[in-house]
Structure 1
Amino acid sequence: MKDSEADSRSHKPCVPFGRIAVLGAGSWGTALASILARNGHDVRLWARRPALAEAINKTGMNGDYLADVPLPESLTATASIAEALADVDAVLMVTPSSTLRAMCEAIKPHLPDAAPIALACKGVERGTGYLLSEVVTDALPGHPVGCVSGPTFAREAALDHPTAATVAFPFSYEDRLNPEKSPAARLAMSLSGGGFRPYVSDDLVGVEVGGAVKNVIAIACGMMSGAGFAENTRAALITRGIDEMKLLAQALGGKRETVTGLSGAGDLTLTCSSTTSRNMSLGFQLGQGTARAACFEGRPVVVEGEVNSVSVTELAARVGVSMPICETVNAVLHDGADLRAAFTALWARPIEAEPYALELSLAHPSPNLPLQFGDT
């Protein structure tokens, strides 16, 4: 399209949400609440601990999670779910994936009818194999459910560094007739401002799969980086990890191309590039030989990829998708597999074709030859 044609397009007006609740006052929840408040919206940030809510309101800072980031004066924190949800137009849930169902039950009595719910957490529920949106739909029927996902480190977003993410909701027939009135468009408009730039998607499954799988792949990258390998190895894991995302997304009804966007390739690249990511950091420490209990200096840090390595591989097996990188990470984290032996076996798998349309599988010529780890 020519620039003149692009400039002449008519842009439909989109009304953002007014009052928004952000449930979860960790680093990402606080960053999202800060973005919304900076954009002029009435934001209530719910914190599980009353002391944290009080400190945020008193100091204008979240000293536990974003200690060096001043928060907008208009941002209000509360430890009362009822207060947080009173008369809200939309809800952002930023709680750990393992506690999502319990959180749904806790907010159910206070949630305004038909209020859209967007998830800013990532994963697959263990046991059911549900994507997190399916967990919310199951627990809270009658609410549009979507997600916000992308390559976003919380501190940078809170500091208003240029950041892009995807807002995804399924589109109803009415949404396709009037997309500017869809929950996805309205939430994207609410988040738009300053350095934060959202994109709108109707492929919720593809976006969610990217968010869940990338954390597991990031642990794999961390493991191999910690073991002494460098950029070739990381690039191989990222690229083949994207392929695992595509296969799972497609098997669940999502679009392969979604995985090449912000919520898939973008988020994976960021998470696999820095130990700022807890997933990458956990893998790095394990790759260096640190015992799991001693990682993060013994602090009980929640690492979503560690939790979801089980649920992702279980879901993949259920739908008949091979995800060897995720399976390797799960084996090391939960089945007692030796890290070096597991990754040696990963690299010695039969030689396959790229793309899959070329059907080929060749026995590896040296399946028992170990990888040359840093101290060998």
Structure 2
Amino acid sequence: MNTENSTAKRVTVLGAGAWGTTLADMLARNGVPTTLWVRETDLAERMRAELVNDVFLPGVALSPALNVESDPATALRGADVYLLVVPSQFTRSTLAAFHDLFPQHPVIVCASKGIELDSLAPMSRVVAETLEDKAPRYASLSGPSFAAEVCRDMPTSVALGCADLDLARELRELFSTPFFRVYSTPDFRGVELGGAVKNVIALAAGMSDGLGFGHDARAALITRGLAEMSRLGAAMGAQERTFMGLSGMGDLVLTCTGDLSRNRQVGLKIGQGRKLDEIIGEMKAVAEGVKTAASLHALAKKLGVELPITEQVHRILYEDVEPRAAVTELMSRALKDE
């Protein structure tokens, strides 16, 4: 838990969606000097005046101690830790735009979940490439956590991946609260890959439920989705045991079964016969799995890794394959040992 010593660390949170706002508010309530950068100037003004994010986290009162800024230079100045919570496809452009505002050796904690579409890079590589001359120190924060529950102090446990063990311990203390428990691991690659892949499997689980296929099918998707996650992780140098933990199996179960999951909800509506463009057009927040399905599909081809569920999700989203036909193809694949 935070102590008086740990509260000396100043945190700037980049990204004021539901998750970024929740994490910033959690830190501020726990005595950590925290600034939240909000891209929209009008939203920042309302947040300062009303202490609520009425767009992405309506109805949740924010801590008066939370500093809200729309000016990047002001927001980034003097921070010890930068918590990155912008959508993964905008991570590179955001870091590039703010490049000169970062100090040397900045501590970057990434809570965004995805694989960059153009480069097929995980967020750790995006950060390393964009801030290469700054020599960033990197960590990934991921695990089974819905903003709507964390912001209401419901008990939550997550994983923090960081290769620097001393830094990992510092960050673990900084982010932990009486209701938010952080476990650390040196396998940052496994943590970030689990957070990316689970969103695609959640789309599949939602589609299955939307088709009315029941609990058996959902359980199979979760289990075989974990196998896909582990295969990809092994090919990219992650540790297999990481995927048995909070950022792997834990987040996968939550996102595939919880109705608060945006990705599950998108899949559910597709399974019920609605079109992707129409669904996305109604959403304020980003369902990361939609873009990640495309990047994961391409990454699997590049690495020669078999991801059959991901492949069928990609076909449904981008090749107009009917969900029922995709499930039939999955079920009719050649039989093999588990």
TM-score by length of 1: 0.86
2:14 alignment counterpart:
23
Q: Following superposition of structure 1 onto structure 2, how do residues 314-333 of structure 1 map, counting pairs within 5 Å?
A: 314-333=298-317
- Partner SS state of residue 200, structure 1: strand
2:123 aligns with one of 132, 135, 159: 132
1:67 alignment counterpart:
58
Pairing 1:152–2:136 present: no
Q: Distance in 1 between matches of 2:148 and 2:97?
A: 28
1:129-175 Cα deviation digits (max 9, x unpaired): 2111100100002011121100000011111110011111123xxxx
Q: CA deviation at 1:203?
A: 0.2
- CA 1:16 to 1:183, structure 2 compared with 1: closer, same or farther past 3 Å? farther
2:185 alignment counterpart:
201
Question: Which range is displaced more, 65-74 or 29-38?
Answer: 65-74
- CA 1:51 to 1:149, structure 2 compared with 1: closer, same or farther past 3 Å? same
Q: Distance in 2 between matches of 1:257 and 1:17?
A: 34
1:370 alignment counterpart:
none
Comparing both structures, which one devotes a greater share of its residues to helix?
A: 2
2:197 aligns with one of 213, 224, 242: 213
- Partner SS state of residue 257, structure 2: coil
Q: Following superposition of structure 1 onto structure 2, how do residues 347-358 of structure 1 map, counting pairs within 5 Å?
A: 347-354=331-338
- Partner SS state of residue 109, structure 2: strand
Counterpart residue type for residue 228 of structure 1 = G
Pairing 1:339–2:332 present: no
- CA 1:298 to 1:29, structure 2 compared with 1: closer, same or farther past 3 Å? closer
Q: Distance in 1 between matches of 2:93 and 2:146?
A: 26
Contact 2:114 2:195 in 1 (8 A): yes
Moved over 3 A (4+): 13-17, 296-301
1:35 aligns with one of 26, 30, 46: 26
- CA 1:207 to 1:17, structure 2 compared with 1: closer, same or farther past 3 Å? farther
Q: Distance in 2 between matches of 1:154 and 1:242?
A: 23
1:257-315 Cα deviation digits (max 9, x unpaired): 10010001000100011231110000000000012232267346522100000111111
Q: Distance in 2 between matches of 1:259 and 1:224?
A: 23
Q: Distance in 2 between matches of 1:52 and 1:236?
A: 42
2:158 alignment counterpart:
165
| RMSD (Å), alpha carbons | 1.5
- Partner SS state of residue 198, structure 1: strand
Q: Distance in 2 between matches of 1:296 and 1:91?
A: 29
Contact 2:12 2:36 in 1 (8 A): yes
1:245 aligns with one of 214, 229, 243: 229
1:213-261 Cα deviation digits (max 9, x unpaired): 0000000000010011111111000000000000110111100110010
TM-score by length of 2: 0.95
Contact 2:111 2:142 in 1 (8 A): yes
Contact 1:16 1:187 in 2 (8 A): no
Q: Distance in 2 between matches of 1:97 and 1:126?
A: 9
Counterpart residue type for residue 195 of structure 2 = G
1:235 alignment counterpart:
219
Pairing 1:98–2:82 present: no
What runs of 5+ residues in structure 2 fail to find an aligned partner?
none
Contact 1:29 1:94 in 2 (8 A): yes
What runs of 5+ residues in structure 1 fail to find an aligned partner?
1-12, 172-178, 355-376
2:175 alignment counterpart:
191
Q: CA deviation at 1:208?
A: 1.1
Contact 1:224 1:284 in 2 (8 A): yes
Contact 2:107 2:136 in 1 (8 A): yes
1:5 alignment counterpart:
none
Contact 1:125 1:131 in 2 (8 A): yes
1:77 aligns with one of 64, 68, 72: 68
- Partner SS state of residue 117, structure 2: coil
Q: Distance in 2 between matches of 1:74 and 1:112?
A: 25
Percent identity over the alignment is 40
Contact 2:56 2:285 in 1 (8 A): no
1:47 aligns with one of 34, 38, 57: 38
